[in-house]
């Protein structure tokens, strides 16, 4: 299946519930985890670039985890 023919990512209700269960009590922001998980699929799906993804969550990730070591960091990205 080509990038162009892939359908847009639509989270299914079952995933929503499962993700809530997975992230419940994880000690970190579960909402951030869900949003990042959904957007990570949008990268694979071609709806979002790694650079956009990295920039979108960089500040939140740094605030939540004190670091941002994700491999999506674009070259020359200014911390």
Which pair of structure tokens corresponds to residue 6? 């892939």
Q: How far is the CB of 22 from another protein (least distance, A)?
A: 5
Q: Residue 38, Cα to own-chain centre: how many angstroms?
A: 6
Q: How far is the CB of 57 from another protein (least distance, A)?
A: 9
Residues lying near another protein in the complex (CB under 8 A): 1, 3, 6-7, 9, 15, 18-19, 22-23, 26-28, 32-34, 36-37, 40-41, 43-46, 50, 53, 61, 64-65, 67-72
Comparing CB distances to another protein, the nearer of 67 and 78 is 67
Determine contact, residues 48/42, Cβ cutoff 8 Å: yes
Q: What span, in angstroms and rounded, lies between the C-alpha atoms of 41 and 31?
A: 16
């Amino acid at each position: 299946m080509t990038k162009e023919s892939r359908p847009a990512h639509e989270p299914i209700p079952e995933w929503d519930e499962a993700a809530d269960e997975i992230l419940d009590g994880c000690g970190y922001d579960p909402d951030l985890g869900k949003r990042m998980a959904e957007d990570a699929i949008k990268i694979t799906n071609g709806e979002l670039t790694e650079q956009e993804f990295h920039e979108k969550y960089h500040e939140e990730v740094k605030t939540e985890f004190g670091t941002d070591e994700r491999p999506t960091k674009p070259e020359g990205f200014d911390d």
